[in-house]
Amino acid sequence: MPDVLKEMSDVLIKGELNKISDLTHQALDQGFSAEEVLQNGLLAGMDVVGKRFKDGDMFIPEVLRSAKTMHKAMDILRPILAQSEVKSQGTFLIATVEGDLHDIGKNLVAMMFEGAGFEVINLGIDQKAQAIVDAVKEKKPDVLGLSALLTTTMPKMEETIHALHEAGVRDTVKVMVGGAPVTAEYADKIGADGYAPNAASAVDKAKELIQ
């Protein structure tokens, strides 16, 4: 990996907010495309962050700082990516289910999808099944991500999937579920299309689902 992209990746992992903007401009000035900067600088770093978080070597405040660092770089890259011929990977709608006020994990996932070239619609926290169904009808996403961090709110995922069936739109969207207590077995049990253990692998799973 070229030095400046490697440095970007390292800065992102460390969450050094004050350095990322200069490095992003430096990489672009050196002739790297916005997509190369994104893939080999930012996403390479976020991949490490995701793995370390999963392994218990990084904690939420550190992950959040890395995510903020990525966001700062994305503010520079986003307009360039929008102008370039980078084809949208699809539309991703994400929400934390009713009764759950956690959004750090959800926002990380949203950021990873945005970085991977998806159009992201983030509905926020504590979203009732009907509100999610209405958004699916209106926005027609390719993938719907449902997040829960509490075991008590996990049943709301199943309720939402049931509501999609009732509204006749379940077949129009791939549903992915995630969050600390959620498992692949639970995803199968409630009729979701996919499950991802972390933000980094969620993008890969989504791409696999909509191929």
* Residue 116 and residue 126 in contact, taking contact as beta carbons nearer than 8 Å: no
Q: Are residues 54 and 107 in the same domain?
A: no
My answer on whether 73 and 132 are in the same domain is no
97 and 138 housed in the same domain: yes
pLDDT of residue 85: 64
pTM, full prediction: 0.74
Contact 88, 118 (CB under 8 A): yes
Supply the CATH number for residue 117's domain. Answer: 3.40.50.280
| pLDDT value, residue 80 | 87
Query: Same domain for 15 and 106?
Result: no
**Do 200 and 129 sit in the same domain of this protein?**
yes
pLDDT in tens, 142-200: 999 999 999 999 999 999 999 999 999 999 999 999 998 999 999 999 999 999 988 77
Q: Which of these three, 83, 101, 117, is where a domain ends?
A: 83
Averaged pLDDT, 106-121: 84
Residues 8 and 101 in one domain: no
- The mean per-residue pLDDT over the stretch 92-116 comes to 88
pLDDT at 1: 64
**Same domain flag for 101 and 190:** yes
Instruction: Note down the domain range covering 133.
Output: 90-210
Q: Which tens digits make up the pLDDT trace of 42-98?
A: 988 988 887 788 788 998 789 889 988 988 998 999 888 877 766 678 999 999 999
User: Quick one: pLDDT at residue 95?
Assistant: 98
**62 and 95 together in one domain:** no
CA dist 57 → 42, 54, 187, 191, 197 (Å): 19, 8, 26, 32, 15
CATH of the domain at 29: 1.10.1240.10
Closest by Cα among 144, 146, 156 to 99: 156
Give the pLDDT of residue 60.
Answer: 78
> How many distinct structural domains can be found in the chain?
2
Q: Which residues pair with 147 in a beta bridge?
A: 96, 178
Mean pLDDT to the nearest integer, 85-112:
87
Q: How high is the pLDDT of residue 155? A: 97
Contact 150, 186 (CB under 8 A): no
- Under DSSP, the state recorded for 21 is H
pLDDT in the model for residue 87: 67
